Structure 1
Amino acid sequence: MKPDLHIVGAGLTGLTAAIEAAERGWRVTVAEANPRPGGRARTLAAPYRANLGTHAIYVDGPWWAWLERRGLTPPIVEAPRHATLVRAGGRLGPWPAELSQVIAALPTEAPVEESLRAWLLRHVDARTAEAIVGVVFIFTFDHDPGRLSAAFAHQRLRRAMAGGVRYVTGGWSTLVDLLAERAAGLGAQIRTRTRVPALPAGPTILATSLATARQLTGDRSLTWPGARVTTVDLGLRADSGPDWFRVMDLDARIYAARYGLADPTLAPPGHELIQISAACAPGERKADAERRVQHLLDESWPGWRAALQWYRSALRTDCTGAIDLPGTTWHDRPAVSRGDSLAVATDQSAAPGLLAEVGISAAQLALQQLGETPMLAEAHMRV
């Protein structure tokens, strides 16, 4: 058996790392501060089973293939065939088919050094460019995606428009339970309600946020730009609901989806769960973002206030994945390897992927780099 491996954080990244490490023969211990595994992928208890973090999974990505190879794919559903409402240029209406056509006609490659907005303005008119910038908000959560690297934004735009997004039946906790059960079955010890005050001795993967990794290590270089997002979750009676599944406010950077339509198990019979994300500009308060969300609901679902049964909101900072500014790529983010026995695997680490896929890719890179410890290497040399 290889020496013990400590993993701090039992979110999707930490659980993936635990499974793969145990498969390779490590004795694994996972420490999780919360009462149950999942990290930001936890799902609230009934009656309204809202997800705490990202709300969908892309089935065209490498992590989905990893899950398939292990028989760990959760039950999923596609987006319902209800209407999608879009606000662009001040007008709220159906998704404009011509916007899809324009996006599809963009060059297949975009430059790293140029901003998305500047690159788009060389190919489309200003109004269309701003609409596309608004679409990019949906999978970056940034308040102004036009400022991001054109290569970074365009690559993810192509994936998002390909339609690979799915929703996990029962919420993210369904997948978390599958991963935790497999990790435990392979011998990994998952210790919940365990807060780690200092770096463990021996090989360690910090599968946390960059901020937590920075605090544990004292390494001030563990930083990268992220987004500020206000999330609003609503439980509503469904008797007066409109005929849309999602609303994308490309002007105000708001995305609202009726997850209860995709998965009725998320809300009691006759009720719906709506989850909403609103990008926050620097300095914008949560209350101001909530007012923008409520204004959009007033337009798109006039009876929502009378149907309201449950409401929660939160301001989330740097917890929606990495964003790359012009002149940078994922290679420029904080390195996964931090020495012979320490690795940092977060959604903002130097690894490829879309949203949470970055942390999972980082965990796999970490295991490759920790694959043979100096102690084992010395033993091999003596032999």
Structure 2
Amino acid sequence: MSGSTPGRLAGTFRGFPATFSAGGHHREACLVKPDLHIVGAGLTGLTAAIEAAERGWRVSVAEASSRPGGRGRTLAAPFRANAGPHAIYVDGSWWAWLERRGLTPPVAEAPRAAGLVRAGGRLGPWPDDPGRAIAALPAEAPAGESLRAWLLRHVEARTAEAIIGVAFIFTFDHDPGRLSAAFAQERLRRAFAGGVRYVIGGWSTLVGLLAERAAGLGAEIRTQARVPAPPAGPAILATSLATARQLTGDGSLTWPSARVATVDLGLRAGGGPDWFRVLDLDDRIYAARYSLADPSLAPPGHELVQISAACAPGERKADAERRVQHLLDQAWPGWRAAVRWRRSALRTHCTGAVDLPGTTWHDRPAVSRGHTLAVATDQSAAPGLLAEVGIAAAQLAVRHLEDRRVPAGLPSSGTRGVA
């Protein structure tokens, strides 16, 4: 992860507040040799840096890219696109953690604009039946049974497949019906509980808040700093699970995840449709006009639409993009002539863990990897939904190293944060 000048932040990062630069307090902290190294300055790594600095650790964070954020980075204007569809849940432990520290970003709720569903090849308004069926499902489901098998014991087959299609939104899997019923049902409950919000200005807003707090607590954040192996001494690898596997050579650092094609479009708004989001139950596609929730994401008179399409094993990016185009032809007639900017990608191992029947988050790769090493990712053995997993893993990683830093029975020294 290769090199800006050690001991300071590399200037102000584009897309971050102007105050996010090397300050006197931060520079003084860098004169002292760090006693905790964190690899990766995404949301997980920055959370670990804050947690550790609050407990009195002298922290150094190495980030391979030119600025912090990882998959939480947002493009600069004019179209401020996140790395695929993003939402934050205000009913979870991560939001509570942010609130206690005064780090909650400004957020918006989903607009009341229409939501459309494509099922059986036809596009129409969201039907009432799946929503009522989801609300009537038992609160808990078995981990040892697939979502499809469990649903078929409670609803008729057509409704079951509709619910499985909905589950794509928070699993990104090409067939959520194959996943653990417990895994999927926990996420169904959260998704329909009303806690979904959208970060104003894109997720770099939140990244900036976390990075500023970490630096303010004395953490050194080095960008363009590529690390070829785990640092000596106490260290947290807050990377993807695949990168942690490469750095450590530990083949057990693996867990199922999804493949998804993303298509981002900057469109001229004139004559466009009035929907906020479209869910394609047939082809496992989710599209949202994020600029309708947050107009700052696109220039005046334009819209930012971000789309994700599940990719089956072996499916090519081009094939997934054709499915997206077919959906847009129905949902936004004439969209091609309105395109002013576009971006597409095939994202692998970027959507968090998925648990298959017979497994739970406890079975994923452990955060603790020895006396002085921890691995914190969104596929680690930690609870939560999507990005919350990496945040919980970061907290577990710091506690793991703290337990080995302080002799049993003695209080930690230097703690200056909140729980």
Q: State whether TM-score is above 0.5.
A: yes
| TM-score normalised per structure 1 | 0.97
| TM-score normalised per structure 2 | 0.89
In structure 1, the partner of 2:377 is 346
Measure how far apart 1:55 and its partner are.
1.0
Q: 1:53 to 1:33 in 2, by over 3 A?
A: farther
Within a 5 Å distance, the mapping from 1:1-383 to structure 2 comes to: 4-373=35-404, 376-377=406-407
Measure how far apart 1:276 and its partner are.
0.3
CA distance in 2 between partners of 1:3 and 1:309 (Å): 47
Secondary structure in 1 matching 2:36: strand
Write out per-residue CA displacement over residues 139-190 of structure 1, whole angstroms, 9 at most, x where no aligned residue: 0000000000001101110100112110000000001000000000000000
Secondary structure in 1 matching 2:380: coil
Q: Residue 165 of structure 1 aligns to which amino acid in structure 2?
A: V
- Single out whichever of 30-39 and 87-96 deviates more from structure 2: 87-96
Contact 2:85–2:306 (CA<8 Å) still a contact in 1? no
Measure how far apart 1:378 and its partner are.
9.5
Secondary structure in 2 matching 1:371: helix
Contact 2:38–2:45 (CA<8 Å) still a contact in 1? yes
Q: Residue 377 of structure 1 aligns to which amino acid in structure 2?
A: P
Contact 2:38–2:61 (CA<8 Å) still a contact in 1? yes
The Cα RMSD (Å) is: 1.5
Moved over 6 A (4+): none
Measure how far apart 1:98 and its partner are.
2.0
Contact 1:2–1:25 (CA<8 Å) still a contact in 2? no
CA distance in 2 between partners of 1:54 and 1:77 (Å): 15
CA distance in 2 between partners of 1:98 and 1:77 (Å): 27
Where does the alignment leave 5 or more consecutive residues of structure 2 unmatched? 1-31, 411-419
CA distance in 1 between partners of 2:252 and 2:299 (Å): 46
Contact 2:147–2:179 (CA<8 Å) still a contact in 1? yes
Contact 2:285–2:307 (CA<8 Å) still a contact in 1? yes
Contact 2:81–2:264 (CA<8 Å) still a contact in 1? yes
Measure how far apart 1:87 and its partner are.
1.3
CA distance in 1 between partners of 2:141 and 2:303 (Å): 40
Contact 2:44–2:238 (CA<8 Å) still a contact in 1? yes
Q: Residue 380 of structure 2 aligns to which amino acid in structure 1?
A: S
| Count of aligned positions | 379
CA distance in 2 between partners of 1:379 and 1:152 (Å): 37
Q: 1:262 to 1:379 in 2, by over 3 A?
A: closer
Measure how far apart 1:372 and its partner are.
3.6
Secondary structure in 2 matching 1:377: coil
Q: Residue 212 of structure 1 aligns to which amino acid in structure 2?
A: T
Secondary structure in 2 matching 1:167: strand
CA distance in 2 between partners of 1:306 and 1:222 (Å): 46
Contact 2:84–2:308 (CA<8 Å) still a contact in 1? no
Share of identical aligned residues, percent?
82
